[in-house]
Amino acid sequence: MPPGATPALPASTVGPVHIVGTGLLGTSIGIALRRLGVDVTLADASPLALAVAVELGAGRRAHVDDAGPHLIVVAVPPEVAGPVAAAQLDTHPNAIVTDVASVKAAVLDDLSAARADLTRYVGSHPMAGRERGGAAAAMADLFVGRPWVIANSGSSSPAALSAVRDLAVDLGATVVLMDADRHDAAVALVSHVPQVVASLVAARLVDATPGAVALSGQGLRDVTRIAASDPMLWAAILAGNAGPVATLLREVRDELDSTIAALDAAAEGDLGKGVAKLHDVIVRGNAGVSRIPGKHGGARADWDVVTVMVPDSPGELGRLFTEVGSAGVNLEDVDIEHAGGKPVGLTAISVLRGSGPALAATLAAAGWRILA
Amino acid sequence: MPPGATPALPASTVGPVHIVGTGLLGTSIGIALRRLGVDVTLADASPLALAVAVELGAGRRAHVDDAGPHLIVVAVPPEVAGPVAAAQLDTHPNAIVTDVASVKAAVLDDLSAARADLTRYVGSHPMAGRERGGAAAAMADLFVGRPWVIANSGSSSPAALSAVRDLAVDLGATVVLMDADRHDAAVALVSHVPQVVASLVAARLVDATPGAVALSGQGLRDVTRIAASDPMLWAAILAGNAGPVATLLREVRDELDSTIAALDAAAEGDLGKGVAKLHDVIVRGNAGVSRIPGKHGGARADWDVVTVMVPDSPGELGRLFTEVGSAGVNLEDVDIEHAGGKPVGLTAISVLRGSGPALAATLAAAGWRILA
């Protein structure tokens, strides 16, 4: 079996599945379902986008003679997810309908306003994405290991909830159940507010001198990476979750005001209101970031980390990995530091707990500089 | 010659060099100078920190019978850099003195207030650091390829400027000349403001529900990574550069206010003042982030990127690197996506322009899934 393949489990999802919108998410869902043998029909407002998705194996074009779909997946931009889902519920009175928009209360409100049949509707949000959008970036594995929120409205039938849960599980995602308001507050916190703040920090660079920008380091790169996101998509997401995002941004604004006041006090030499408050800002940030699961929220307890200095010469990084590979340890993660846009300097290699010392000794014997 | 070694060039730096403060920067400077054969003496307020630095080969303990140093490097916390530099200028009337604090105008102000001999003083700021501080994290290569700002006060003698430039060049850094005010405005922009904002976003997580935090993705991890920074060091840095940081944070605050107003308008369905303004926030962020040099400011034009799907099974990452290594291409960079704290999913491998298609074909033939 080639790497990347999954042992074939029979799909729980019952077709035909009709996917409306063949962007990144819709096309990826289609490809994954087709691999599981599920019949998939596709529709998109753009004939070109539809043709690409068909070519990529995401399903076949919907046809007027098709049997009615069992499940409809609405994968259109968030600002039209509600109206499109309402139209699908209306057109296909026996189908279960889900949408995959990244905001959930606004979609539910639109459906309620349209007096749609909410027993057959389940809002969902697969939390997967790539920096590149569009069908060409699609892949069957997009959802593997990712959270897939099912936004329980309280009105959905058990059959509808089961169908959407089966879809998420078939695609390898981890189902998370929460209501629409809790979902929207959570994504405001972990996704939408970071997006706004990253964009505002990056915007400060627009009028900066080249000399200042040249001093940029990894910290600025990390903080502003997501500022490269798609403006049209993000305007729709932010508008669709405006209330929760504004609430959190007001909290950020209030903390920012007291930080500015602390800086002003520090400039006057006030250690109490000034420096102590600045200290507190960083301490609270420490406490918050430590709650994030994953590699930047603290090293995993079951990994050893070996830090190696990689010189700025051609081939050194490849040579390092070749030697790590032949050392016979299980490589769990790699984190490469960058300077001036080049990967040079410290490379942190994570291996299973207990394998670190042997790897460090092997690499040191081969002449690599291992850091404490 | 082992990897990590540099062809021996004779040091331009004239010893003895006396380093005051054996933390990360002071110890790293000492180790690098000792490797170049320069005589280095060390001092630190902490006997323990001094002992560690001596043990690491950063130099020898200063002794009352020593000849006067030619160059003194003050590598103490930023809030005491001015007074310590003033004392060194006073104690050693023939020595050139530099400091390596990350704020420059405040240090210069302290020296002016102390009526220190500014002809023998040159402020500098090597822009290098590791997440871990202290002598134990020190390394000779810390400064290689990094900017080293020399803050020209206009009062330094040519001999003093040359000595500090020689130090930076001997340590492999790239010298950048700017005055103290421009330096402080630049680091406020590229380092201090991102730090504050990252801390404020991370602080929102302190009281978040576990369910919300569990939805964290790579975007939040990136934005908040530097929120794990040392509170004492950062309180001193922010207090020492309070004016420029406050100026920029006021700009961020004003943009935040208009973003909140736009969200409120969007919640009322106002497409013009609401959604269009949100779109503009993201567009301006796009423009800003595109100015940052390095991998996140746009892929390097001379690299091909091959994106591979790495399955979530033990050993797959190591096997991938072993096969990349045996493919005989020059590995330039690796970027591994993470899900749920595990390195799983997309791995972007950068190689020299022209080598990408062959690598992709080799990996595909070995069964790896290569993505468009």
Label residue A240 by pLDDT band (50, 70, 90). very high
Local structure of B232: helix, strand or coil: helix
Q: What is the CATH number of domain A186-289?
A: 1.10.3660.10
AA letter at B140: A
Number of A/B CB contacts below 8 angstroms equals 524
Nearest Cα of chain A lies from the Cα of B356 at a distance, in angstroms, of 14
Record: contact B197-A197, CB cut-off 8 A: yes
* Look-up of token digits 């070749």: A322
ipTM of the complex: 0.80
- Nearest CA to A233 among A105, A134, A138? A134
CB A168 within 8 A of CB A150: yes
**Between residues 172 and 231 of chain A, which touch chain B (CB distance below 8 Å)?**
174, 176, 178, 182, 185-187, 189-191, 193-206, 208-209, 211-217, 219-231
Which H helix or E strand runs over A287? helix A277-289
Chain B residues in contact with A197 by the CB 8 A cut-off are: 197, 200-201, 223
Write out chain B residues lying below 8 Å of A310, CB-based: 3
Residues of chain A with C-beta less than 8 angstroms from the C-beta of B326: 322
Average pLDDT on A101-127 reads 96
Closest in A176, A278, A321 to B321, CB measured = A321
Beta bridge partners of B61: B42
The structural architecture, per CATH, of the domain A299-371 is 2-Layer Sandwich (3.30)
- Is the Cβ pair A216, B287 closer than 8 Å? no
Q: Residue A158 and residue A177: Cα distance in Å, rounded?
A: 14
Per-residue pLDDT, averaged over A251-257, amounts to 97
Please give the single-letter amino acid code of residue B31: I
The 3-class secondary structure across B187-225, one letter per residue, is HHHHHHHHHHHHHHHHHCCCCCCHHHHCCCCHHHHHHHH
Instruction: Judge whether B74 and B85 are in contact, CB under 8 Å.
Output: yes
Contacts of B126 in chain A (CB under 8 A): none
Omega prior to A2 cis, within 30 of 0 = no
pLDDT tens figures, A115-167: 999 999 999 999 986 655 667 667 888 888 889 999 989 999 999 999 999 99
Tell me, what's the pLDDT at A339? 53
> Residue ranges of the domains in chain B?
17-178, 186-289, 299-371
CB contact under 8 A, B339 and A189: no
B305 is written with which tokens?
């990127």
Residues A2-24 pLDDT 10s: 444 444 578 899 999 999 999 99
Is the distance from CB of B45 to CB of B71 less than 8 angstroms? no
Question: What residues of chain A lie within 8 A of the CB of B175, using their CB?
Answer: none
pLDDT tens digits, chain B, 372 residues: what are they? Answer: 344 444 557 889 999 999 999 999 999 999 999 999 999 999 999 998 899 889 989 999 998 888 899 999 999 999 999 999 999 999 999 999 999 999 999 999 999 999 999 999 999 999 986 655 667 667 888 888 889 999 989 999 999 999 999 999 999 999 999 999 999 999 999 999 999 999 999 999 999 999 999 999 888 999 999 999 989 989 999 999 999 999 999 999 999 999 999 999 999 988 788 999 999 999 999 999 999 876 433 445 567 888 887 776 667 777 788 788 777 777 777 777 665 445 556 788 888 778 888 888 889 888 888 875
Q: Which residues of B touch A288 (CB under 8 A)?
A: 199, 201-206, 224, 227
**A161 close contact with B: CB closer than 8 A:** no
> What pTM value is reported for the model?
0.81
Confidence of residue A332 (pLDDT cuts 50, 70, 90): confident
Q: Which residues of B touch A326 (CB under 8 A)?
A: 322
Of B19, B37, B9, B12, the closest CA to residue B162 belongs to B12
Task: For residue B342, give the H/E element and its range.
Answer: strand B342-352
Q: Sort out which chain B residues have CB atoms less than 8 A from A282's CB and list them.
A: 195, 199, 227, 229-231, 234-235
Contact B204, A245 (CB under 8 A): no
In this structure, what is the dihedral angle of CA atoms A35, A62, A75, A233, given to the nearest 10 degrees? 120
- In CATH terms, the superfamily for domain B17-178 is NAD(P)-binding Rossmann-like Domain (3.40.50.720)
- Tell me which residues of chain A, numbers 267 to 306, contact chain B at a CB-CB cutoff of 8 Å: 267, 274-276, 278-297, 300
The pLDDT tens digits of the residues spanning A188-206 come to: 999 999 999 999 999 999 9
Q: DSSP characters for B66-96? A: SPPPSEEEE-S-HHHHHHHHHHHHHH-TT-E
pLDDT number for residue A313:
67
A59 vs chain B: nearest CA distance in angstroms? 19
- In this predicted model, what pLDDT tens digit does every residue of A291-328 receive, in sequence order? 987 643 334 556 788 888 777 666 777 778 878 877 77
Q: What is the predicted pLDDT for the residue at B296?
A: 36
> What pLDDT is recorded for position B297?
35
Q: Which amino acid is present at B285? A: G
- Determine whether B240 is exposed, middle or buried from the number of CB atoms within 10 Å of its CB (0-12, 13-18, 19+): buried
Q: In the structure, what pLDDT confidence band is assigned to residue A344 with cuts at 50, 70 and 90?
A: low
* Closest chain B CA to residue A185: B212
Question: What integer pLDDT is reported at residue B138 of this predicted model?
Answer: 72
